[in-house]
Structure 1
Amino acid sequence: MQTKALAPEYQGALTKMSVNASLTDVLAEGVRHLRQAELSGSQEEVARSGLAVAEAHRRLGQVAEADRAWKASYRAARSAGNTGAMAWALWSGGTLARQRGALRLAFRLLGLAAELGKRGGDVVARGYSLAGLAETGRIQGDYATVATLHEQLLAEARARGEARHTVWALEGIAQIHRNTGSLDTALEMFEEAAVLAGDADDRRGRAWALRGIADIVSLRDGATGRALDLLAEAEVTCREMNLSSALAYNHKMRANVLFRAGRYEEARTVYEQALGEFRAMDEPRGEALASLGLVKARARLGRDRHATAADLDELRGRLSRIGLLNAREMVEKAYAELGVEPSSAGAGDDRR
C-alpha cells in the first residue's frame, strides 16, 4: 500500500511542508525558521532548517548559496552530535556535487551519508543516500554497477510504501532501459511511475515521468504531438513549483522531440533556451547535453562541417573530464550521424 508522497528533507519546524510546495515558499520558511533556531541556540534545529534552505537553493539553481547552506547544516548537526542530521546534510551536499558535475565528490559525500544514516539509525537518510549513489552511477553511464542497486531500492521502497521513493526508483530503472534500447520496458515503467506519482500527489515525480514518456513516444513512435503535449503538462508543474533544473531538462527534451521531427529551426531555438538555463544554474551535465543538441541542430541547418567537428571535439573532451560515459558515447555517435570526422586524432580527449 503506497502512502501519499512526503518530503523527508523538510525537517524540524518544516516537517508539515508539502512535497509540492513552491521552492520559493520552502526557502522563505526555511530561512525564517533558521533565524529563529539560531536565536534560540538549538544547533539541531539549525541543522534541520538549514537542510531545507540548502535543498531549496539547490533546486532553484542557486549553487553557491546551496553549497554554503548544506555545509552550515552539517556543522550544526555535528555540533549537536546528531548523526542522522549529519547524514542528511551530506546527502544534500552529495546531490549538489552531482548536479554540478563533480561526480567523484558526489560519490564520496553520498557514501559517507549512507554510512552515517546507517550508524544513526535513520533508515530514510540511508535510503536516500544509497539512491543518490545509484543515480550518480546511472548518470555516469555505469549501468552494470548500479542496476542491481536500483532494483534493491525499488523493492525496499515498495515494501515500506514510500511512494515518492518508489517513483524515483521506477524512473531510474526506466531510464537505464531506455538508454540500453529496451524502449517498451522503459515506457511501461515510466507510465507506472506517472500513475503512482499522480495517486500519491507527487507532482515533481509525475513531471519527470511525463518527460520520460514523451521521450519514448517520440523516439519509438514518432508521436511528436503527443510528446509535446506531455511536456507542456509537465512544464506547468515545473513553473508552479519553481523547479529550475526540471524545467531546463523539460526544455531540452522538447528540443530533442522537435529535432527528431525534423523541425531544426525550432529545435535550435529551444536548445539555446535550455543551454542558457543550465548555464545560469551551473549544471554542466545539462549544459553539455543541450550543447550537443545545439551542435546537431546547427549542422542540420547548414553549419560548416569543420566547425561542427571542432564543436564535437570540444564536447567530447568536456564530457570525458566530467566522467559522463553515456553522454560521451552520444558525442561519438554524432560524428557518424552528421558525417564529420574528429578534427584531429584524440582531440579533446584527456584520458591519458
Structure 2
Amino acid sequence: MYGKAFAPEYQGALGSLSVNSSLADVLVRATEQLRAAERDGTPREAARCSLAVAEAHRRLGNNREADRAWKASYRTARGADDPGTMAWAAWSGGTLARQRGAMALARRLLALAAELGERDGDVLARGYALAGLAETGRIQGDYEAVDALHGQLLAEARERGEARHMVWALEGIAQMRRNTGDFDSALAMFEEAAAIAERAEDHRGRAWALRGVADLVSARDGDTERALALLTEAAGLCRSMNLTGALAYNHKMRGNVLYRAGRYAEARTMYDKARSQFSAMGEPRGEALARLGLVKSHARLGREPARTAADLDGLHRALDAIGLRHAGRLIRDARAELGIEAMAAV
C-alpha cells in the first residue's frame, strides 16, 4: 500500500506545497518566505526556503539561479547546525550537477547528502541522495553497478509506502531493461509506475512514466499514434507544472517516435525544438541526444554522408566528455543504421 505523493523538499513554511504545485508558483511563494525568514532572523527557515527556490529554478531550467540558491541553503543550514537541511541542499546541488553534465561533482555532492541524511536520521534525505547516485550511474551506463541499488530503493519505498520513490525506482529499472533489450519487462514496469503515479496524484512521475510507455509502444509494437497520444498527455502534465526539462525530453521522445515511423521531416522539427530547449537550460546530455536525432533525421532526408560522419564524430566527443560510458555504442549504432561506418574518420 502507499499514500498520496508528497514533496519532502518543500519544508517548513512551504510544507503545505503539493508535489504537483506549479513551479512558477513555488518560486514566488518560496522567494516571499525566504525574505520573511531573513527579516525575522530565522536561519533554519531561510535555509529551507532557499532549498525550495533552488529546486524551482532547477526544474525551470534556470541553472545559475539554482546554483546560487542551493549553495545559499547549504551555507545557511551549516551556520544553523542543521545537517538535515544541509543534506537536502547537497542533494539539490548534486541533482543540478548531473543535469549540467558534471557527473563527478554530482557523485560527490550526492554522497555527501547521503552521509548527512544518515547522520541526521533523515531517512528520506538519505533515500533521495542514494536514488540520485543510482540515477547518475544509470545515466552514465553503469548498469551493473547500480541495478542492485535501484532494486534496494524500490523495496524500501514499497515498505514505507512512499509512492513517489516507488515510481522513480520502477522507471529507473524499466529504463535499464529497455536499454538492454528486455522490452516486455520494461513496458510492464513503466505501466505500473504510471498507474501508481496516477493513483498517488504524482503528475511529474506520471509524465515520465508515460514517456517510457510511449517509447516502448513505438519501439516494440510500432504503434505510432498511441505513442504520440501518450506523449501529448504527458506534455500536458509537464506544462501544468512548468516542468521545462521534462517537456524537453518529451519533445525529444516525440522526435524518436516520428523518426521510427519514417516521418523524418517532422522528427527533425521536434529534435530541433528539443535541442533548443536543452541548450537554453544548459543541459548538455539532453542537447547531445537531441542533436543525435537531428543528425540522423538530416541524413535520412538526404544530407551528404561526409557531413553526417563529421557530425557523428563531434557528437561522440560531446557525449564522451559528459562521461556517458555508452557513448561509443550510441554512435556506432547510428553509423551502422545510416550505413556510414567506414567514414568515421572523415
TM-score of the superposition, structure 1-length normalised? 0.97
CA-CA distance at 1:311 after TM superposition: 0.1
Residue aligning to 1:296: 296
Residue aligning to 1:80: 80
Aligned in 2, Cα 1:206/1:197: closer, same or farther, shift over 3 Å? Answer: same
Cα distance in 2, alignment partners of residues 95 and 332 from structure 1: 29
Once the two structures are superposed, the pairs formed by residues 1-352 of structure 1 within 5 Å of their partners are 1-341=1-341, 345=345
**Equivalent position SS for 2:341:** coil
Counterpart amino acid of 1:11? Q
Counterpart amino acid of 1:126? R
Q: Deviations over 1:174-224 (max 9, x none)?
A: 001000100000000000000000000000100100000000010000000
Q: Deviations over 1:146-196 (max 9, x none)?
A: 000000000000000000010000000000100010000000000000000
Aligned in 2, Cα 1:342/1:238: closer, same or farther, shift over 3 Å? Answer: farther
Whether the 8 Å contact between 2:265 and 2:297 is mirrored in structure 1 is: yes
Q: Deviations over 1:285-331 (max 9, x none)?
A: 00000000000000000001000000000000111111112344211
Cα distance in 1, alignment partners of residues 279 and 344 from structure 2: 28
Whether the 8 Å contact between 2:332 and 2:341 is mirrored in structure 1 is: no
CA-CA distance at 1:341 after TM superposition: 3.2
Q: Deviations over 1:37-59 (max 9, x none)?
A: 11111110111000000000000
Show structure 1 runs of 5+ residues with no match. 348-352
Aligned in 2, Cα 1:336/1:344: closer, same or farther, shift over 3 Å? Answer: closer
Whether the 8 Å contact between 1:53 and 1:69 is mirrored in structure 2 is: yes
CA-CA distance at 1:336 after TM superposition: 1.1
Cα distance in 2, alignment partners of residues 212 and 344 from structure 1: 31
Identity of aligned residues (%): 68
CA-CA distance at 1:19 after TM superposition: 0.5
Q: Deviations over 1:43-92 (max 9, x none)?
A: 10111000000000000000000000000000000000000110000000
Counterpart amino acid of 2:176? I
Cα distance in 2, alignment partners of residues 50 and 289 from structure 1: 32
Counterpart amino acid of 2:139? I
Cα distance in 2, alignment partners of residues 343 and 280 from structure 1: 32
Q: Deviations over 1:117-154 (max 9, x none)?
A: 00111110000000000000000000000000000000
Cα distance in 2, alignment partners of residues 16 and 328 from structure 1: 46
Cα distance in 1, alignment partners of residues 183 and 327 from structure 2: 18
Cα distance in 1, alignment partners of residues 293 and 119 from structure 2: 44
CA-CA distance at 1:342 after TM superposition: 6.2
Counterpart amino acid of 2:35? R
Counterpart amino acid of 1:32? E
Whether the 8 Å contact between 2:310 and 2:344 is mirrored in structure 1 is: no
CA-CA distance at 1:343 after TM superposition: 5.1
RMSD (Å), alpha carbons: 0.9
Residue aligning to 1:350: none
Whether the 8 Å contact between 1:163 and 1:200 is mirrored in structure 2 is: yes
Runs of 4 or more off by more than 3 Å in structure 1?
341-345
**Equivalent position SS for 2:326:** helix
**Equivalent position SS for 1:325:** coil
Q: Deviations over 1:9-30 (max 9, x none)?
A: 0011000001000000000010
Whether the 8 Å contact between 1:289 and 1:327 is mirrored in structure 2 is: no
Counterpart amino acid of 2:116? L
